[in-house]
Amino acid sequence: MSVREASKDKRRQRITQAARALIQANGTAGFSMRSLATNAGVSVATPYNLFGSKRLVVLSVLQGEIDRFQSKIVHDVEDPLSTLFSVASLVVEQSCEDPTFHRSMLKFLRQEESETQRHMSAFSDVNSNVFNVIIAAAKAKKQLREDTITQVVAEFLEYSLSTVLGFWVEGLISDEDLENRTAFAFCLAVVSFATEKELPGLLVRLQVHQSRISNASIRDAVKTLDAERVSDTASMLKKVVG
């Protein structure tokens, strides 16, 4: 890399880092290219020259998060299904370490065209798709049956993960529920294809997460009921005092 290219790359990194900090504070819509330039310590023209638009700056931030996620994945060559559930844990861990930031990023991505969404997915490339690799390895290790269609299961895993994350982004489920629902969905995706050796363990895992989801739902229902009772009591007292 030439000195000029190295300098440009350094400025790109600085701008991406500044954009990440601004998104953390104000969301993807909460900053201008001028404020970005100020925070990055560059001229107003520099972000435009290096990226082209604010949208492409945000996509650069998102790509950094995808790269960081992929770098954390450790493949267990002896137990591919263990890798699958570790991926589920990694998704939850990275999402919940900075929930405001990651909700903003996921909302931004959901507004993008489908082609961009596929491109910016951590599991987009068919040949290096983490789910494809894991399912193929699980078949080779005889954890999953040979007639398992790798691509179909991989697509189902990604669809399930996207759906559960969507509920979390909208605040409909808690961080804890995100973890249990993700693991439960992953269990459902592979349990029908499990070999006799793996099936009992997967069924136990499925039952554990189902139970935790049910308990969380009961707790939420109780909280809602308690809130309604408090509201009813307050209304009654207001009528009495009034």
pLDDT digits (tens, 9 = 90+) for 194-231: 999 999 999 999 999 999 998 876 555 555 445 444 45
Q: How far apart are CA 235 and CA 242, in angstroms?
A: 10
Confidence of residue 64 (pLDDT cuts 50, 70, 90): very high
Q: Looking at the predicted structure, is the pLDDT value of residue 2 above 90?
A: no
Q: What is the mean pLDDT of residues 134-145?
A: 96
The residue count of the chain comes to 242
Q: Looking at the predicted structure, is the pLDDT value of residue 109 above 60?
A: yes
pLDDT digits (tens, 9 = 90+) for 113-134: 887 887 777 666 544 588 999 9
Q: What percent of the chain has pLDDT over 70?
A: 86
Q: In the chain, which ranges are continuous DSSP H helix? A: 3-26, 33-40, 45-51, 54-72, 80-97, 99-110, 114-119, 130-140, 150-169, 175-191, 199-241
Strand partners, 239: none
Angstrom CA distances, 176 to 20, 85, 145, 221, stand at 25, 15, 31, 16
pLDDT digits (tens, 9 = 90+) for 42-57: 999 999 999 999 999 9
Q: What is the mean pLDDT of residues 4-32?
A: 89
Q: Looking at the predicted structure, is the pLDDT value of residue 240 above 50?
A: no
Asked whether 105 and 61 are in contact (CB, 8 A), the reply is: yes
**In this predicted structure, what is the pLDDT of residue 219?**
59
Q: How far apart are CA 78 and CA 59, in angstroms?
A: 36
Q: Per the structure block, which two tokens stand in for 24?
A: 């953390």
Confidence of residue 176 (pLDDT cuts 50, 70, 90): confident
What pTM does this model have?
A: 0.79
- Angle formed at CA 105 by CA 58 and CA 20, multiple of 5 degrees: 50
